Amino acid sequence: MEYVLLIGGLIILIIAGELLVRGAVGVAMKFNIPTLVIGMTIVSFGTSVPELLVSLQAALDGHPELAIGNVIGSNIANLALVLGLTAIILPITVKRSTLRVDWPIMMAVTVLFYIFILNKNIEWYEGLIFVLGIIGFNFFMFWKAKKKILKKI
């Protein structure tokens, strides 16, 4: 029975992933927003909600190490597995703005996380820094996209 549920879950995941990608591309086209911005907001938040719920539940149940492992494991899986397999199937073109803005921000956040965990405790204000950081980054991404759109007009 477990195998049937596993296969059924994978089928639902594939279908839902396809619908998510189609919907995200539709939103990008309708509002004339670059797909990178949509990928870094709608798609990333949509795929991160299950991880957020697992991490919250683990922390509430007194297992914060599971929440930390979930975050670190997710980042490793996204970079090594998802990006790696995608690049094996089809080469990925990286834009200059990705190298100049997105990559340094990702690295800075990773270093900041490392600094925060050195004392073996993540405080509420450190979490607030991350939350405010992602809000600020999203505003920056939308501002940058809007500026690019207005430049074309």
Domain ranges of the chain: 34-152
DSSP string, 15-29: HHHHHHHHHHHHHHH
Give pLDDT tens digits for 92-148. Answer: 888 887 888 888 998 999 999 999 999 988 899 999 999 999 999 988 888 887 787
Distance, CA of 147 to CA of 152 (rounded, Å): 9
Euclidean distance between CA atoms 146 and 33, whole angstroms = 8
pTM value is 0.75
